[in-house]
Structure 1
Amino acid sequence: MTDRPSSRDEKRTAPWWLPSYAGLFLGFLFFILTFTPSLVPRPPLFQGLLGGLAFFIGYAIGHGGVALWRYLELPELPRPWWRAVNIVLALACAVAAVVYLPQAAAWQDEVRARLDMPPAEAASLLLVLCTAILVAILLMLLLRGLIAGFRAASALVYRWMPRRIAALLGAAIFAVLLVTLVNGTLISATITAIDKAQALTDVTSPPGAIQPTEVTRSGGPGSKIAWQDLGRAGKRFVTEGPRKADIAAFTGRPAQEPIRVFAGLRAADSPEEQAELALADLIAMGAFDRSILVIATPTGTGWVDNNGIAPLEYMHDGDVATVAVQYSYLQSPLSLILEPGRSQESAAEVFRVIYRYWQSLPEERRPKLYLFGLSLGSHGSEASPPMYAWLGDGFDGAVWSGPPFRNRMWRSIQRDREEDSPAWRPVFEGGANFRVIGHGDSAQDAHKDWGRVRIVYIVYPSDAIVFFEERMLYRQPEWMAPPRGEDVSPLLQWFPIVTALQVGIDMMFAAEVPPGHGHDIAAADYIEAWTAVSAPEDWTGEDASRLADKLQTEAAKHSSSW
């Protein structure tokens, strides 16, 4: 007569596909915590996506923790105690649901108010729950399938090896096969599909784009770069921006026609050839006879924010030349993931080619040289000047807005900031060379006078693209410590793993907020930055206010058409 299996053996031999109570409890707790406020409001569909993902991660941690405990054959609680523990955990989840869920709508509206957004319409909790359940079930089924695959591979190896070695070797074999399949087939097919779709978009013309008739714009008469080779973003760049008459009407002074050069991705076969083509256009248009030359690094799609360049053209009476070279047609997040280093390599090559020619000119007659970049553009632009360009015969300054959390220089400024300055508005070396402003701030105020190189970062505290960091998974970031930024909710709390997921989702909506918040840079802040960096003559605060209203109105009018 055989002995009855112990409760411990019963747990070990339970079917692998049964749900894990520890996983369910931890997953439900993670799900509830996702309703707490973060940096920007989330639509119901994405709240459901976030909730389902958080539930799955919590479930995987709980289930995996129990599985590891049993695999190591550590002592377990008796069955009656487990029942008591499960009851306590169930009650804790119920209390969390009662405390957190009723406040979800109010929390979202509090965040919206700080971002100058109207209260949200009544969100459908049913939509959130259904989305979360669907996402969680799909991910759990995927996890269960992977577990089944690992078990099957281990069972095959177990015929020739001890159990634990077979488990590890079988898991390794299955992992290698899985990665080979996914990388070689699924990911490759997905990347190819995305690439083809974005490439087709890039060859089209945005609504309202018109081939320029001025000789001072790429794609126009005499340009070395054909209109069809500008790409979608390039056509927008040369179509936008003030003309000579617009500037003269605004300032009441004589103006020149601003120069805008853009080399699209298809204009040449390599970044160096693109840069040489752009340089040829600059020379032909007389860009090096202007008082200011700007090397602008675009975002992933090739977009250059008109509000980041137009202020400089207005305040310097059109005596400005701007050049940009496209390095991708993918959205910035995709370009950062699928083409790592591309923005930096392209920006460095463009800077090298143009700087070399600029440096060869007599110092007294060459233009001041500035850099510009928004978001992924700042990532590339920040890394473009070599060390010798910072010293001696160097460039004059830069405006970098919305720097992604991957920007090395930005992270260094945050890390080495003065002790009494917050992480969301760091002060570095008294502001002698680097100054950070938010919405409505002045770049003129600093402990020290400007040095030879003037750099202004435009950063909003609610910008998840700037302030996301991997360490949020296990520790509270410094920017959450009081005092917080003016548009960051005091109700935002840090939770391990969950807050990192929230801010990660926030990155998707960082630009879907009013200007002056998140990742949407206000024209007034660009004007303030360029005023500090380029020091225009006869420029007043009243001029800045009028121009900000003008540019913001024009941007709102054209936003839907582009």
Structure 2
Amino acid sequence: MSVLHLLVRWLRRPYWDAPDPAWIVRRWPDLTACCVAALFFWLSLTPSLLPRPWYLQGLIGGITAAVGYTAGAAASALFRALCRYRPAERTRARCWLAFHVLGIVLSTAAVSWSAHAQRRLRRLQEVEPSLVWHTPMIILIAVAVCALFVLLARCVRLVARRLARFFGRWVPRPAAYVIGTALTALLVTVGSKDVLYERGFIDIVDRISKAANLSTADGITQPASAYVSGGPTSVVDWAELGAEGRNFIGSVPRKQDIAAFTGRPAKDPVRVYVGEQEGGDAHFRRTADLAVQELERTGGFDRKVLALLGTTGSGWVDPRMPEPLEYMYGGDSAVVATQYSYLPSWISFLVDKEKAARDARAVFDAVYAKWSALPADDRPKLVVGGESLGTYATEAGFDGLDDMLDKVDGALLAGPPNVSPIWREVTAGRDPGSPVWRPEYDHGRHVRFAQYPERDLRRPDGPWEHPRVVYLQNASDPVVWWTPDLLFHRPAWLDRPLGPDVTDEMRFWPVVTFWQTTVDLAVSFGAPPPHGHRYGTGAVDGWAAVVPPPGWTDRDTARLRAYEAAKDAPY
């Protein structure tokens, strides 16, 4: 049979009918569902918060197309149930032929347009214009992912039908269908959650993370200083700090380095870190007790400033968060951090979020009780801070903004997740007319937000009283904006005016925007600061605004900012 003959035959009948109408898995796709899937795929190509690589675009396109296929298939099934009309074979052939031709042409055009939109977004966020946008591969990945999900859904439907037939031997057909559907739903839930997710994926991640927690980065050695945890006189063993704890302790600046920057004699900073403790609920109390013992041993309560920092899931602390305080105060500082998990942040967010809150609450309450018992004139300034999941953990240590302002001398919080309780309180109560990406609360009397701290912290023009709370928050940070509500509800951060690094080509589409923002989480560190989930040297301006030492000037802030920017600190 010649190629030409095959082509003519395909043009006359560009689809396939199963020989048995009862076939489910091997059935030809539904045309209406395919059209809706194509539409959803095109919508997924619209720009989101951050530039994304082509392979992730193919993945999100396939997932979104599968959602569209499901909606289209449901609408088609409903139409067939309510209407007896069936198109003639010739009409079906022409419709399928139009779909094949227009689908390829329009998808190619949409991907090409998306490439231009991604380049514009990269320029807006100062990302190198080196994007390679593989149009054919994006379409192929999307088709493969969508087909996989459709195939899985059909297999599930086949199982439900087989079960219904089995139980139909003993019970009426309606009851059999209910039983079959319920059992299938149970099997899918147990299989996906308990087997694949918790005992499969999570178990693998747990073993990998546990092994990583036992490692030590190159160049990090056990300290000999008496002012940090893990040393020879510490009540916390070096091996118990965890990988991120050893990084935190091993990277503390020396007093010689601080003196070289300030031009004045300096002290060795105090850094206290307590690794994850075993023992169920009792480990929160043990962690808090060890933190207080370490502060007492190192003289942390005798320093000028004492900072409690929330950590991410793995116990990580961005080195650019504590260092500005240590340089600003000439090393006369104490910083405390604790580890509640060794899992990556996004896994901890799913399975350990409450654990983070309880750990932070226990540690803060223990430190605060000791600190507040000291004479008011002899105790250090007490501040708190955190980044990403560490912000959530820090906020969870308080009963609200008023409680925070009553207990501490200031707070610096960066990249707060959408579930952060105080952030939600402040954002919901923002002054009328202020955008959610740069909210003004109570005319900026105590709380201010910044993406570009040098200028943002100067607004609004009213008085800024102590204690001060600073949020470093990028308008393009998906960690701040991701929430399941994006599935069906338009977010306030897409209201005009948009943030300074959010493209005006972005639109809200139900389901689509949710998946786009989810993918943005995976590339949130791809853009330079202050974009995405990167905050660079923003902590310098943040701490200088929250708790500046006597005599500290804007010139000192600029010099320290330049010094921190020049360092090759990991992010």
Conservation of the 8 A alpha-carbon contact between 2:328 and 2:548: no
Conservation of the 8 A alpha-carbon contact between 1:444 and 1:532: no
Deviation at 1:342, TM superposition (A): 1.4
What amino acid sits opposite 1:97 in the alignment? Answer: S
Provide the C-alpha distance between the structure 2 equivalents of 1:387 and 1:491, rounded to a whole number of angstroms: 37
What amino acid sits opposite 2:379 in the alignment? Answer: R
Alignment match, 1:496? 510
Alignment match, 2:15? none
The TM-score normalised by the length of structure 1 is 0.91
Provide the C-alpha distance between the structure 2 equivalents of 1:150 and 1:159, rounded to a whole number of angstroms: 15
Query: SS state of the match for residue 24, structure 1?
Result: helix
Alignment match, 1:546? 559
513, 532, 551: which one pairs with 2:527?
513
In structure 2, the CA distance between the partners of 1:186 and 1:539, relative to structure 1 (3 Å rule), is: same
Deviations 1:174-214 (A, max 9, x none): 22233234444333233222111100000100122121122
Query: SS state of the match for residue 211, structure 1?
Result: coil
Provide the C-alpha distance between the structure 2 equivalents of 1:95 and 1:127, rounded to a whole number of angstroms: 15
Conservation of the 8 A alpha-carbon contact between 2:53 and 2:131: no
Provide the C-alpha distance between the structure 1 equivalents of 2:343 and 2:479, rounded to a whole number of angstroms: 17
What amino acid sits opposite 2:352 in the alignment? Answer: E
Q: Does structure 1 residue 16 correspond to structure 2 residue 21?
A: no
What amino acid sits opposite 1:223 in the alignment? Answer: S
Q: Does structure 1 residue 350 correspond to structure 2 residue 360?
A: no
In structure 2, the CA distance between the partners of 1:102 and 1:255, relative to structure 1 (3 Å rule), is: same
Deviation at 1:299, TM superposition (A): 0.5
Provide the C-alpha distance between the structure 2 equivalents of 1:423 and 1:546, rounded to a whole number of angstroms: 31
Alignment match, 1:153? 163
Deviation at 1:458, TM superposition (A): 0.5
Deviation at 1:99, TM superposition (A): 4.5
Alignment match, 1:191? 202
Conservation of the 8 A alpha-carbon contact between 1:231 and 1:266: no
Provide the C-alpha distance between the structure 2 equivalents of 1:367 and 1:416, rounded to a whole number of angstroms: 32
Alignment match, 2:179? 169
Q: Does structure 1 residue 203 correspond to structure 2 residue 214?
A: yes
Provide the C-alpha distance between the structure 1 equivalents of 2:170 and 2:319, rounded to a whole number of angstroms: 67
Alignment match, 2:441? 428
Deviation at 1:85, TM superposition (A): 7.4
Provide the C-alpha distance between the structure 2 equivalents of 1:142 and 1:113, rounded to a whole number of angstroms: 40
Provide the C-alpha distance between the structure 2 equivalents of 1:267 and 1:212, rounded to a whole number of angstroms: 24
In structure 2, the CA distance between the partners of 1:409 and 1:80, relative to structure 1 (3 Å rule), is: farther
- Structure 1 residue runs without a partner (length 5+): 1-9
Deviation at 1:392, TM superposition (A): 8.9
Alignment match, 2:255? 244
Deviations 1:136-167 (A, max 9, x none): 22222211111111111222222333433322
Provide the C-alpha distance between the structure 2 equivalents of 1:183 and 1:267, rounded to a whole number of angstroms: 26
Q: Does structure 1 residue 79 correspond to structure 2 residue 87?
A: yes
Alignment match, 2:11? none
Query: SS state of the match for residue 436, structure 1?
Result: strand
Provide the C-alpha distance between the structure 2 equivalents of 1:284 and 1:385, rounded to a whole number of angstroms: 26
User: 485-494 vs 84-93, which deviates more?
Assistant: 84-93
Paired residues, number: 546
Alignment match, 1:379? 392
Alignment match, 1:38? 48
Deviation at 1:258, TM superposition (A): 1.0
Provide the C-alpha distance between the structure 1 equivalents of 2:510 and 2:96, rounded to a whole number of angstroms: 22
Provide the C-alpha distance between the structure 2 equivalents of 1:341 and 1:195, rounded to a whole number of angstroms: 18
Conservation of the 8 A alpha-carbon contact between 1:27 and 1:54: yes
What amino acid sits opposite 1:41 in the alignment? Answer: P
Q: Does structure 1 residue 318 correspond to structure 2 residue 331?
A: yes
Provide the C-alpha distance between the structure 1 equivalents of 2:509 and 2:102, rounded to a whole number of angstroms: 16
Provide the C-alpha distance between the structure 2 equivalents of 1:85 and 1:522, rounded to a whole number of angstroms: 54
In structure 2, the CA distance between the partners of 1:464 and 1:181, relative to structure 1 (3 Å rule), is: closer
Q: Does structure 1 residue 142 correspond to structure 2 residue 152?
A: yes
- Structure 2 residue runs without a partner (length 5+): 1-17
Conservation of the 8 A alpha-carbon contact between 1:439 and 1:517: no
Conservation of the 8 A alpha-carbon contact between 1:347 and 1:384: yes
Deviations 1:312-356 (A, max 9, x none): 111122111000010011111001112231111111111111111
What amino acid sits opposite 1:493 in the alignment? Answer: R
Deviation at 1:86, TM superposition (A): 6.8
In structure 2, the CA distance between the partners of 1:495 and 1:92, relative to structure 1 (3 Å rule), is: farther
In structure 2, the CA distance between the partners of 1:249 and 1:474, relative to structure 1 (3 Å rule), is: same
Alignment match, 2:410? 397
Give 1:443-462 correspondences, 5 Å limit. 443-462=457-476
Alignment match, 1:5? none
Query: SS state of the match for residue 412, structure 2?
Result: strand
256, 260, 276: which one pairs with 1:265?
276
Query: SS state of the match for residue 434, structure 2?
Result: coil
Alignment match, 2:267? 256
Provide the C-alpha distance between the structure 2 equivalents of 1:336 and 1:231, rounded to a whole number of angstroms: 19
Deviations 1:355-375 (A, max 9, x none): 111122122211111111100
Deviations 1:472-508 (A, max 9, x none): 2223211112111111111112222111111110011
Alignment match, 1:3? none
What amino acid sits opposite 1:509 in the alignment? Answer: V
Query: SS state of the match for residue 486, structure 2?
Result: helix
The TM-score normalised by the length of structure 2 is 0.90
Provide the C-alpha distance between the structure 2 equivalents of 1:301 and 1:392, rounded to a whole number of angstroms: 28
Deviation at 1:131, TM superposition (A): 2.4
Deviation at 1:80, TM superposition (A): 5.0
Give 1:329-340 correspondences, 5 Å limit. 329-340=342-353
Provide the C-alpha distance between the structure 1 equivalents of 2:432 and 2:180, rounded to a whole number of angstroms: 52
Deviations 1:518-543 (A, max 9, x none): 101120x2111111110322222222
What amino acid sits opposite 1:462 in the alignment? Answer: S
Provide the C-alpha distance between the structure 2 equivalents of 1:50 and 1:184, rounded to a whole number of angstroms: 25
In structure 2, the CA distance between the partners of 1:509 and 1:550, relative to structure 1 (3 Å rule), is: same
What amino acid sits opposite 1:449 in the alignment? Answer: P
Query: SS state of the match for residue 79, structure 1?
Result: coil
Conservation of the 8 A alpha-carbon contact between 2:269 and 2:331: yes
User: 458-467 vs 183-192, which deviates more?
Assistant: 183-192
Conservation of the 8 A alpha-carbon contact between 2:415 and 2:472: yes
Give 1:25-104 correspondences, 5 Å limit. 25-70=35-80, 73-75=81-83, 77-79=85-87, 83=92, 93=103, 96-97=106-107, 99-104=109-114
Deviations 1:286-307 (A, max 9, x none): 0001111111111111011111
Q: Does structure 1 residue 118 correspond to structure 2 residue 132?
A: no
Conservation of the 8 A alpha-carbon contact between 2:227 and 2:271: yes
Provide the C-alpha distance between the structure 1 equivalents of 2:38 and 2:494, rounded to a whole number of angstroms: 25
Query: SS state of the match for residue 555, structure 1?
Result: coil
In structure 2, the CA distance between the partners of 1:63 and 1:145, relative to structure 1 (3 Å rule), is: same
Conservation of the 8 A alpha-carbon contact between 2:398 and 2:404: no
Query: SS state of the match for residue 321, structure 2?
Result: helix
519, 527, 539: which one pairs with 2:540?
527
Conservation of the 8 A alpha-carbon contact between 1:439 and 1:522: no
Query: SS state of the match for residue 307, structure 1?
Result: coil
